[in-house]
Structure 1
Amino acid sequence: MALLFRSFFATAPMRQYFRKADGTPTNGVQGFARHVLSAQSIVRPTHLAVCWDMGVHTFRNELFDGYKANRPAPPDELKPQFDMAREVSEMIGWKNFGTVGMEADDTIGSIIHKWKGEAKITVVSGDKDLLQLLNPSTTIALTKKGYTEYNIYTDQRFKEEYAIEPSLFADVKAFMGDTSDGYPGVKGIGPKTALKLIQSYGSVDGVLQALDELKPAQRSKIQENEDMLKLSLQLARIHTNVPIDAAIDDCTLPIWDRSKFDQLTMEGYSLISRHAQSLMR
């Protein structure tokens, strides 16, 4: 979904929607697929999975009404492309995953948990929250610019930069909050202080058990927002127990041939077809 949004807004300001013959815009869909193909050519995986949000309402909305409530409605030109993106992904032959009530992040986390002993995994996304999923067999490639630039995080790099275990990144987020996702954390505690607290006390629970050791101002802020802190941790923590009803070999890369190129072109996705052919020359 992050790649779909990113691709849509990369061309929408110039009103480059790459419409089909019937007028349906395809800019987000085609950009998404081209991004995945480019990532595939860089990472050179043997298997590939695409994870989707399945609607805007998830268990996190049940926990907190304000979750992502500050996000504007998608533009009309983007709305039809949500279903189209998954259809195109299936047409290409990529294995798709998504569970109603859960976010794509939770599906990604569950795939990592299920197959971390069987594969080296690279996650391509623009979502920094995924850093909490890092482990010795998992790398996070955060999108930077265009289709080919990534900010690569390994388990080792994260530990060197943050001096905490990756799983504790959710505890840091619980203190600092997330304006994009719409939860406040503890008002008055920013990223630097949040990280320092987790470095010093090991977790949200560790900080709460050591309140007497904190400066009066910090202690007061946390005590006043303790319920929201605990709720923010629930919202920030990615679940890794979503059922993944597949074997790893179900994600084997599809075989490209002339019929696949022709089908994409016939369906109005000529940019994807041309991009795929250029990468395979």
Structure 2
Amino acid sequence: MNKHVLLVDGMALLFRSFYATAVHRNFMINDNGVPTNGVNGYLKHLLTAVQTFEPTHIVCCWDMGSQTYRNELFQDYKANRGAPPVELIPQFDLAKEATEELGIVNVGLKGFEADDCIGTLAALYQKEARVTVLTGDKDLLQILNEQVTVALMQKGIGNYKQYTKALFEEEMGISPKALIDMKALMGDSSDNYPGVKGIGEKTALKFIQTYQTIDRLLENVHELTAAQQKKMLAGLEDLKLSRILAEIKCDVPLSCPIDETKMQINQERAAAMLRLHQIKGIEPMVNRLSEIEIS
């Protein structure tokens, strides 16, 4: 199997890059008054990953607005997150433009998150290719299997913790899919869904290590302590909802044939775009990649 697809979580790369320099208010504003700090770092992360993983095919996935089907199910989903900083807002479109000018396909679908697009494409492409997911989001570890690996970005550029299914199972003692049930039990303060009140990460992990699934846990709820039984029975509705919210959808109705995602850096278009928007320090990286023959 010679095809190797890199699925990039564009949102994770852009947010990480923006906040890395925004803390010092180094927004790199160009002559048109548009900040470029997030896009600059995003491109460094993206091109470094291409050099590191040497994919034959590549897709960059994006959120398409803040409202998704999860908000319809639970109106407070991610309600604890404020609006993005004004300096970041114009960089969403600029990052997508830069990606396109590099010759890389952008994918996003209104009503779904970038994670759902990644999960769907991974399920589709794994039939004929190895798949590497580049992200900073541990939620995506739930899609690990023999064909899909997840590279979690660490501090700095070009530093990754690469998870295989085997490594995840060795570390956690549960299957990747079981991460969904674990998250449903413990909830997620970042995404603002409840889980079972009073059940934290350690207890949730222990429950899933012991019973494998929520269904089996509920079948054997009598084996829990009286306090745990009370929490579980009181939190059944929140548990059911949280499980739906925690699961990455792998059947999003999008179309992106693998043949349209072949890795081909467009040096001239990329250089013109970088100069137009005064995004500095990236052109040498593009030139180096353009010289590499990706087979």
- Give me the TM-score of the superposition, normalised by structure 2: 0.91
Percent of aligned positions that are identical:
48
Deviation of 1:259 after TM superposition, in Å, equals 4.8
Deviation of 1:273 after TM superposition, in Å, equals 1.9
Deviation of 1:251 after TM superposition, in Å, equals 0.8
Deviation of 1:279 after TM superposition, in Å, equals 5.5
Partner residue, 1:90: 100
Partner residue, 1:49: 59
Correspondence 1:167 to 2:177: yes
Correspondence 1:194 to 2:204: yes
Deviation of 1:239 after TM superposition, in Å, equals 0.4
**What is the SS of the residue equivalent to 1:271?**
coil
> Which of 70-79 and 271-280 deviates more?
271-280
Partner residue, 2:244: 234
Flag the 1:24–1:194 CA change in 2: closer, same or farther, 3 A.
same
Q: Is the 8 A contact 2:116 2:248 kept in 1?
A: yes
Q: Is the 8 A contact 1:144 1:150 kept in 2?
A: yes
Find 2:125's aligned residue among 101, 107, 115.
115
Deviation of 1:125 after TM superposition, in Å, equals 0.3
Whole-Å separation in 1 of the counterparts to 2:169 and 2:55: 25
Partner residue, 1:106: 116
Deviation of 1:205 after TM superposition, in Å, equals 1.6
Correspondence 1:35 to 2:10: no
* Superimposed CA distance per residue, residues 143-165 of structure 1 (whole angstroms, 9 cap, x where no aligned partner): 11111111111011011112222
Q: Is the 8 A contact 1:51 1:98 kept in 2?
A: yes
Partner residue, 1:139: 149
Aligned AA (1:65): Q
Correspondence 1:183 to 2:182: no
Q: Is the 8 A contact 2:104 2:265 kept in 1?
A: no
Q: Is the 8 A contact 2:265 2:289 kept in 1?
A: no
Partner residue, 2:88: 78
Find 1:257's aligned residue among 264, 267, 280.
267
**Consecutive unaligned residues in structure 2, runs of 5 or more:** 1-10
Deviation of 1:271 after TM superposition, in Å, equals 3.0
Correspondence 1:59 to 2:69: yes
Flag the 1:259–1:182 CA change in 2: closer, same or farther, 3 A.
closer
Q: Is the 8 A contact 1:170 1:237 kept in 2?
A: yes
Aligned AA (1:124): L
Partner residue, 2:5: none
Q: Is the 8 A contact 1:120 1:137 kept in 2?
A: yes
Aligned AA (1:27): N
Whole-Å separation in 2 of the counterparts to 1:223 and 1:150: 40
Whole-Å separation in 1 of the counterparts to 2:284 and 2:28: 14
Q: Is the 8 A contact 2:221 2:229 kept in 1?
A: yes
* Superimposed CA distance per residue, residues 51-81 of structure 1 (whole angstroms, 9 cap, x where no aligned partner): 0000000001111111100012111101111
Q: Is the 8 A contact 2:102 2:269 kept in 1?
A: no
The count of residues paired between Structure 1 and Structure 2 equals 281
Partner residue, 1:206: 216
**What is the SS of the residue equivalent to 2:183?**
helix
Deviation of 1:43 after TM superposition, in Å, equals 0.6
Find 1:153's aligned residue among 163, 168, 172.
163
Whole-Å separation in 2 of the counterparts to 1:260 and 1:157: 37
* Superimposed CA distance per residue, residues 14-36 of structure 1 (whole angstroms, 9 cap, x where no aligned partner): 12111121111011112111111
- Give me the TM-score of the superposition, normalised by structure 1: 0.96
Whole-Å separation in 1 of the counterparts to 2:179 and 2:269: 45
Whole-Å separation in 2 of the counterparts to 1:54 and 1:210: 41
**What is the SS of the residue equivalent to 1:14?**
coil
Aligned AA (1:142): L
Whole-Å separation in 1 of the counterparts to 2:89 and 2:274: 21
Q: Is the 8 A contact 1:53 1:99 kept in 2?
A: yes
